[in-house]
Every structure is written in C-alpha cells, then in structure tokens.
Amino acid sequence: MPTIDAAKLDALCATILGAAGVSSATAHSVAAHLVENDLRGIESHGCSRIPYYLGLIAERSLKPKAEPRCEAVAGARVLKVDGGRGFGIPAMELALESLSEAVEETALAAAGIVNVGHTGRIGAYAEQAAERGCFAFICGGGNHRAWPNVAPHGGRKGVVSTNPYALALPGGTRGPLVVDFATSAIAQGKVMVARDKGAALPEGLLLDRKGRPSTDPNDYYDGGALLPAAGPKGGGLALVAELVGTALLGPPHEFNWIFVMMKVEAFRELGAYGADAEAFLARVRACPPQKGFERVSVPGELERERAAQRRRDGIAVDDAIWTGIGEAARTVGIDLGGLAAA
C-alpha cells in the first residue's frame, strides 16, 4: 500500500484530469476536493473517483471543459447554478461563493444546482458555509430512473438512489458541526471500495438480487439493492430528496441539488452564538463513552483530526485504488513513475 504526500497526490490527480481534456481550473478544483476527502479518510469520495471520472469523459456523459454559471431566478435570495453537464465540484463551489455573497444582503439564500456531474462530498461545501458564520443545508437526488439502487422501506428492490444530505453550523473554536450522510444504510462509494478491497460488509446494509440480506458487495453490483438508513427515517428522507431533485428542479444529469445558507447573525450575534455552541458541544464531548469507544466526538471533528495527521504523514492509498489510478493514468498517456514515494 503506497503512502503518498498529499501535494503529490493532488498534482497527480490534476495532471491526469488535465490529460483527459479537463480545463486547468476544473482539474485543480476537482483534484483538491478529492485529496481533501482522502485526507479525512473518506475514500469513497477521494482519488478512487479518478477512474470513474475518466470513464464518464470517455463515454461523453461528462463534459471536461464545461464551466458552471450562476443566475438569479427569483431575486437575490434564490439562485440557479447550471453546471453545463460538467463536473459538479466547481458548480457546487460556485454555488457556495454566490450564496455567500447573497447572504451578506439577505441573510437567507438558496440555490438549485442542476445539469451537473458528480459533486464529490457535499459535506465539504456545508462545512465551508459554516466556517463563514452560516447554517447550511444541502440535499440532492432525482435520478431514480438511472440509479434505482436503494430499496424503499419495506421493499426488496431498488427504487431510489442514495440521495444524500449535509447540514452544518459553526461549532466554536474546534470547528464546525458537520453532518453528512447518505439516506441509504451505506454510501454506494463505500460499497465500491469494499468490493475493490475484497472485503465483506456488515449485516443490515444490502440485499441481493432476490431481495435476501447479504454482506457481499458483489451482490449489490449483481442486481441487488442497498437498504435505507434507519428504516422509515432514511427511506422518508430519500423520498423528499428525490422529489426535490426531480419534481422541483426538473430532469437531472446526475443529481440535482438544493443548497440553502442562512447567516447565524440573522437571529443572534455570532459571538453569543459561538459561546453557547461551544458550551453545549463541550457537554457532548464530556459524555462518558460506551464500551468500544475511546471518546464521544462531534460530527466532523474526527475527519479534521485525521486530515491534519495525513497532511503530516502522507495518505495511505489502498493497493486496489492505486492500481485503478495507474490504469486511468495510462489511458491518458501518463506514467506514475516514482510518484508513490512519500
């Protein structure tokens, strides 16, 4: 398993994307996003996505040179970002920047993000909004026809997709509170990583093609389905996101998204808010841990701690993922050479 310096991995991903025809700005945007996810230990949305992206470009379902654009559709409070059938990562970044400007005038703003490819880890954008003193809400879905891979509560075959949500708020001096989850019992990307590693999954996450419980990730790719998270709770949230992504925002390219930002200071001075948030989250962290847990942590902080450690020591890339990156690189004429050196 090679261990790679984050900056080298970032440069490699950007170079591969550039060789595949991706514009320089987008290649660096996407590469930085993927490597940041690997730094935080979220392999399902890290550099493992490079072969997938090159495949989308090769089959012409992703426009490598597309540039997102933003327009006001209902005054300054409601925006629409059109990704032009390109990468979703720069489109979400444009939404974040446009909403950040809008809330300076209106305190509350929302954007619909449409016509985009894969958007990466949506918690990243919610976290950045929280770092700017805002409450953020993001959810997406809409492609149940292309990816009916999650069974509804009580069902035995896939009907909707993983339809994720992210919410974030400022959390005091130790960073934002960030909740980022798929409405399926496991993110599809994590099933992909388990399959590539040849690992079994825990029970209660997926069904095989006949609707029987399974722990084999290959059963999912052989016509099976993921189960909804927390039964009717995740199942219900998935249906809401699907209506938002299809009925509200129209036919998607991959997924459509709603991104809402609200300034904390719309209700309360930021310093007073921060003091109360800090005090409450300190109570959460002080809770005695259950057996098997070293401590109680706040959502988002373990990933930040992991990222700091991996920036220092490098990112350990699983052999199967590294092999996939190498194969993707060769398709665009790039030799990895000695880039695996820490």
State pLDDT tens for residues 68-118. Answer: 999 988 777 999 999 999 999 999 999 999 999 999 999 999 999 999 999
Please, what is the Cα angle at 6 between 84 and 312, to 5 degrees? 145
Confidence (pLDDT) at 202 = 95
Residue 206, H or E segment? strand 206-207
Given a cut of 90, is residue 342 above it in pLDDT?
no
**DSSP code string of 108-167:** EEEEEEEEE-----HHHHHHHHHHTTEEEEEEEE--TTT---BPPTT-SS--B----EEE
- Dist CA 144 CA 178 (whole Å): 27
Confidence (pLDDT) at 75 = 75
% of the chain beyond a pLDDT of 90:
91
Would you say the pTM of this structure is higher than 0.75? yes
Whose CA is closest to 329, among 54, 43, 8?
Answer: 54
What 3-state DSSP class applies to 181?
A: strand
Given a cut of 90, is residue 290 above it in pLDDT?
yes
Helices (H), 143-298: 188-197, 217-221, 232-242, 270-285
Confidence (pLDDT) at 1 = 83
State the Cα torsion 303-306-307-309 to the nearest 10°.
170
Half-sphere exposure of 79 (CA within 13 A, CB side): 30
Confidence (pLDDT) at 227 = 97
Q: Please check whether residue 208 is in contact with residue 218, taking contact to mean a CB–CB distance below 8 angstroms.
A: no
Q: How confident is the model at residue 341 (pLDDT cuts 50, 70, 90)?
A: very low
- By 3-state DSSP, what share of the chain in percent is helix, strand and coil, each rounded to 5? 45, 20, 40
- Dist CA 168 CA 300 (whole Å): 9
Q: Are strands 78-86 and 108-116 parallel, antiparallel or unpaired?
A: parallel
Identify residue 123 by its one-letter amino acid code: G
Q: How confident is the model at residue 262 (pLDDT cuts 50, 70, 90)?
A: very high
Query: What is the rounded average pLDDT of the residues 51-58?
Result: 96
Structural domains of the chain ordered from first start: 3-184+228-331 (3.30.1370.60), 192-227 (3.30.60.50)
Number of Cβ within a 10 Å radius of residue 223: 13
Whose CA is closest to 181, among 201, 199, 167?
Answer: 167
Q: Please check whether residue 196 is in contact with residue 324, taking contact to mean a CB–CB distance below 8 angstroms.
A: yes
pLDDT one-digit tens code per residue, 192-239: 889 988 999 999 999 999 999 999 999 999 999 999 999 999 999 999
Given a cut of 90, is residue 17 above it in pLDDT?
yes
Q: How confident is the model at residue 155 (pLDDT cuts 50, 70, 90)?
A: very high
Confidence (pLDDT) at 197 = 86
Identify residue 292 by its one-letter amino acid code: G
